[in-house]
Structure 1
Amino acid sequence: MALAVIAGWLALIADTDRRNVTIPNRLVVPGVLAVMVGALVHPMAAAGALIAALPYTVAFTARLSGGGDVKLAVVLGGLLADTASTLLMVFLAQVLHLLAHLAARSPGVRRPHAPALVAAWVTVVIPAAVFG
């Protein structure tokens, strides 16, 4: 049940970013706060959040990513709370985003990244949920 609620919330974030090329704070900040609280009990949530946020923070400082992407990465890494899974998610998100960019064939256009990031998270989470 909880996984379905989280997946629905992430679908809303991805769709909002797809339509507006922005992730509103009102959608993502509650997740950041939840991860921060969860990290007090489960330190690996903090590690996952930091690992996921690092490449997005670097991209943000180079103006290659938005602040919403950084916050979403914090949430998704914190939810994974596993180093290997978080690294896989970040890698898959980059591959999916690149494929979407190449398929669109319109250079210079801003592309939303949340759909790729959420899809990568789902790709990592679903097999773990099904196969343990």
Structure 2
Amino acid sequence: MFRDEDLALLARPLYAFLTVAPRAGRWPAPRPVWFEVTDAGDLAMFSEPGAPKLDRLRERPRASVVVAAPPGEPEHWVATEGEVTLHDQGGAELAARLADRYGVSHDPKYQALIEQWRDSTVVRILLHPDKLNRFTA
């Protein structure tokens, strides 16, 4: 589903903006998240087990993600949506990989948080893309 230029963008340590179905009476509110593309072409993210977004994903297991090149670069973005699966296994390992990917694994400001992720049941979120939009300038 992803083209080579999409994968080149998604291979960079950019924030993905994850949007899930909102609570009743609320508007959707994208949240910046760390992510990686799996070998199967899914987007892998993680969350603390008590996060409200996980409750909403259990109710409606569908989400969207947008990743864009930063200002100052030619416009390039990928927007995808799809079914979501939640996994109790592999979340801590994913969080550690992403801390490395995003260059914070040795940052003292992140050490307590990274330890918390290692010691908790971090939930792995997999978005299985079934719709994709893109733009490359």
Normalization by structure 1: what TM-score?
A: 0.27
Larger Rg: 2
Normalization by structure 2: what TM-score?
A: 0.26
Considering fraction of residues, name the structure with more helix: 1
